Amino acid sequence: MAVTPRPQKTALLLAQRIVRDIHRRGLAPGEKLPPERLMMAEYEAGRGTLRESLRFLELQGVLSFKPGPGGGPVVEKPGADTLAATLALLLEFENARYRSIAEARVAFEPVMARLAAERITADRLAVLEQSLDEMEAGIEDDEVYLDTNERFHDTIAWASDNPLFGLLVDVMVGSMDLSGAAHGIQYPVRRRLAVLKAHRSIYDAIQARDGELAESAMRDHIGEYLTYVNKKFPASMERLISWQ
């Protein structure tokens, strides 16, 4: 028997129209939408439906609300926070472990590195090199190590010129804990030096625009990471992902 799709709520359909109009009109972050009465007339919507739509867009990071006279809905650029919250919530209901994140990295980070080697800009290559220099200089500092490690992988993700990769790594760097430090995984200086060496190999391949070598170097790096955490911190790999 055919399944009839559930009809979408009027407020959600209106929210989708508002987003399309934001793009059609070329509204940039910081620009205001029309006053409520004009939007009600334009979209032929009641006040309750319009406010529900705007509230939904606020929760999605598309809008913020400026208070006071002359205030109202202001266009924003959504970040990875909304995606992170949604994905973490879904994973918690699936009883997913940190292992899910670690294993997923094996699948897509080598591809990211190959694309980055082909597409990286001079500015991002400089950021990548700076992360290596700062990691080496602060190799004994926990905070510096974690920050530069995450920045290295995040830069490669966005250098792939594929926004989906960039957003996914932003999610993992942020609320889903790319390094696993929040799950109890630790990195002694000896391990950090090994990571630094791996990062330099990946950087050299990307700088040389050698996509095949960059992909191979990243695959080896993530593979070594998985071997390390499985051996040293097996309990951490089994910790549940929680919505935070």
Final residue of a structural domain among 25, 45, 75: 75
Question: Domain holding 40: CATH number?
Answer: 1.10.10.10
| Cα–Cα distance, 175 to 61 (Å, whole number) | 16
Residue type, 51: R
Alpha-helix residue ranges (DSSP H) falling in the chain? 10-24, 36-43, 47-59, 80-93, 98-119, 122-137, 142-159, 163-173, 189-207, 211-232, 234-237
Q: Indicate whether 44 and 163 sit together in one domain.
A: no
* One domain, residues 34 and 125: no
The mean pLDDT of 47-58, rounded to a whole number, is 94
| 97 close to 241: Cβ distance less than 8 angstroms | yes
User: In the predicted model, is pLDDT for residue 128 greater than 90?
Assistant: yes
pLDDT for the residue numbered 129 = 98
CA distance 244 to 228: 27
Examine the domain organization and report whether 29 and 68 are in the same domain. yes
Query: Given this model, what pLDDT does residue 51 score?
Result: 94
Mean pLDDT of 40-62: 94
Give the model confidence (pLDDT) of 150-170 as tens digits: 999 999 999 999 999 999 898
User: 210 pLDDT band (50/70/90 cuts)?
Assistant: very high
Query: Rounded distance, CA 33 to CA 111, Å?
Result: 40
Residues 209 and 92 in one domain: yes
Residue that is last in its domain, among 18, 46, 75 = 75
Considering the domain architecture, whether residues 108 and 183 belong to the same structural domain is answered as yes
% of the chain residues with pLDDT over 70: 94
- Most confident of the ranges 77-86, 98-107, 122-131, 170-179: 122-131
Residue 178 maps to which CATH number? Answer: 1.20.120.530
**Average pLDDT score over residue span 89-113:** 91
Q: 136 with 50, same domain? A: no
Assess if residue 139 is contained within a domain: yes
Strand, coil or helix: 66: strand
Residue 93 and residue 55 share a domain = no
Q: Are residues 66 and 146 in the same domain?
A: no
Quick one: 20 and 101 in the same domain? no
Q: Are residues 181 and 120 in the same domain?
A: yes
Mark which of 21, 40, 75 sits at the end of a domain. 75
pLDDT at 5: 46
* Maximum Cα–Cα distance across the chain: 65
Is residue 41 in a domain?
A: yes
pLDDT above 80 for 173:
no
On whether residue 16 sits in a domain, the answer given is yes
- pLDDT band with cut points at 50, 70 and 90 for residue 79: confident
- Structural domain contains residue 242: no
Q: Do 54 and 160 reside in the same domain of the chain?
A: no
Q: What's the pLDDT at 176?
A: 59
Region 52-81: mean pLDDT is: 89
Q: Is residue 48 part of a domain?
A: yes
Within-domain flag for 243: no
The reported pLDDT for the residue numbered 8 is 63
Domain range for 195 is 81-237
Query: What is the tally of structural domains in the chain?
Result: 2
| Same domain as 187, residue 138 | yes
